[in-house]
Copies of this chain bind each other. A is one copy, B any other.
Amino acid sequence: MKKQKAENKKAQSEWVEGSVQDFLGLSAADMEFIETKLAISRLLKATRRQQKLTQQAAASKLHTSQSRLAKMEAGDASVSLDLLIKSLYSLGVSRKKLAAIF
């Protein structure tokens, strides 16, 4: 019975995750990419906060606008991985640190 319950729970959880993916017609590769992008945007936000910078201050360092940085940190669809990673490097994040989030 315990075993049975555990299996049900797992199955349910998989169904919930799978439904979004399936509904949007996303492949496993799509999912990995989205997760990667989200993880990087989170690292960007965390990095800025560790450096005690407002979005405005950090945006200036990055030669961009506050609104753009807000979108970067939100993992907005209008933001590329290129921009995210360039921004991280510009804030001084090392390749090693970056590798850790993959």
Residues on A facing B (Cβ under 8 Å) = 27-30, 32-33, 35-36, 80-82, 85-86, 89-90, 95-96, 98-100, 102
DSSP class of A's interface residues: helix, strand, loop or mixed? Answer: helix
27 A-B pairs whose Cβ atoms sit less than 8 Å apart in the complex: A28-B89, A29-B86, A29-B89, A29-B90, A30-B86, A30-B89, A32-B89, A32-B95, A33-B82, A33-B85, A33-B86, A33-B89, A35-B95, A80-B80, A80-B81, A80-B82, A81-B81, A81-B82, A81-B85, A82-B82, A95-B102, A96-B102, A98-B102, A99-B99, A99-B100, A99-B102, A102-B102
B100 touches A36 (CB 8 A): no
